Structure 1
Amino acid sequence: MAISLGPADGGDDDDQVMAAINTTPLVDVMLVLLIIFLITIPVVTHTVPVQLPKEANQPTITQPGNVTIAVDHHGTVWWNEESLASRAELAARLDAAAAKVPQPEVLIRGDKDVAYEHVGRVLAAAQRGGITKVSFITEPPPR
């Protein structure tokens, strides 16, 4: 960056004001900004097309063949409002439900205070029994 203060010979031109503006730094900054924009604009506009889900609260449609398994805060497993005595009984009922045609949907309701271990055991038993359609029943968040 150079600044011209006048002639070096010390002549009579010392009283004149230099009216020229050095535009070189301005052009350098603008070229750097142009290069930055040329590099970043394709990155910003390149996106993956996805269909985002719409929020909709659908009421649960209970069909006669659906099975609701509830796990209360003590870890007790309930089969359609009937308490099950053991995991073997749950496995036997899931095996019988998996053999039906069409296979019923298993809806799992877990208490918010139950240890995840108990809900995980029910889910694993459904998987071992061959149930293909398992859903969780939850409450929607307050608005």
Structure 2
Amino acid sequence: MGMNVAPSEGEGGEEAMSEINVVPLTDVMLVLLIIFLIAVPVVIQTVEVNLPSVRLLPTTTKPENVSLSIRAADDGACEVFWGMSRVNSNEMLTRAIQHIEDEIERFGGAENMTEDDLPEVHIRGDVNTPWRCIGGPIFVMQQAGFTRVGFISEPAPGVGIQRL
């Protein structure tokens, strides 16, 4: 690769160069083109996922289900309510284990129960509640033996409920 310089003083005086060397510009453009040709297929590759369709189902509340209400207090602490009484993690775990044991005893043993007979946990979380306040009670209830944990929400205004 060479460089074109203006003629020296002895060869005819000083002249301004009017030609632009486009070889470096072309090299840079070709390198960028190759980079983009390699990078674009990587960016647009996606994993095919069949997402569930959203349907609002009416909640069937059975007496054996546990209703938890969760909100964040003004000081940032998490408040969990079992029914209408406030509980901490230890009280929640103790009550949950006792609730599961009472249900098993009511059916005459675990061998007499089906998956549909197991009680569920319904969580009502305030909109402004941070996830850490919701995740803790879910973990505690799963430790106690609850396999079904669901969230209760309000449908958007004007949205009908589709019955299955």
Pairwise TM-score range, normalised by the shorter structure? 0.5 to 0.7
**Which consecutive aligned stretches of 4+ in structure 1 deviate over 6 angstroms post-superposition?**
113-119
Q: What amino acid does structure 2 have at the position aligned with 1:22?
A: N
TM-score computed with the length of structure 2 as normaliser? 0.52
The percentage of aligned residue pairs carrying the same residue is 26
Q: Which runs of 5+ in 1 are unaligned?
A: 78-84, 128-132
- Secondary structure of the 2:121 match is strand
Q: Please report the TM-score for the alignment, with normalisation by the length of structure 1.
A: 0.57
1:59-98 deviation line (CA, Å, top 9, x unaligned): 22x287x842232333488xxxxxxx99546403135285
Kindly report which structure 2 residues correspond to 1:41-120, keeping only aligned pairs within 5 A, or say none.
Answer: 41-60=40-59, 62=60, 67-70=64-67, 71-72=82-83, 73-75=85-87, 87-88=97-98, 90-94=100-104, 96=107, 98=110, 99-101=112-114, 103-110=116-123
Flag the structure with larger Rg: 1
Tell me the C-alpha RMSD between the 2 structures. Answer: 4.3
Is the Cα contact below 8 Å between 1:94 and 1:125 reproduced in 2? no
From the superposition, tell whether residues 18 and 140 of structure 1 become closer, same or farther in structure 2 (CA, over 3 Å): same
Provide the secondary structure at the position in 1 that maps to 2:145. Answer: helix
Give SS of 1:103's match: helix
Partner of 1:10: 10
Change (3 A) 1:122 1:135: closer
Q: Secondary structure at the match of 1:21?
A: coil
Number of residue pairs matched by the alignment: 127
Match of 2:143 in 1: 124
| Paired residues of 2:65 and 2:121 also in contact (CA < 8 A) | yes
CA distance change for structure 1 residues 137 and 9 in 2, over 3 Å: closer, same or farther?
closer
Q: Flag the 1:58–1:43 CA change in 2: closer, same or farther, 3 A.
A: same
* Distance in 2, Cα, partners of 1:15 & 1:51: 72
Matches of 1:110 and 1:51 in 2, distance apart? 26
Matches within 5 A, 1:24-39: 24-39=23-38
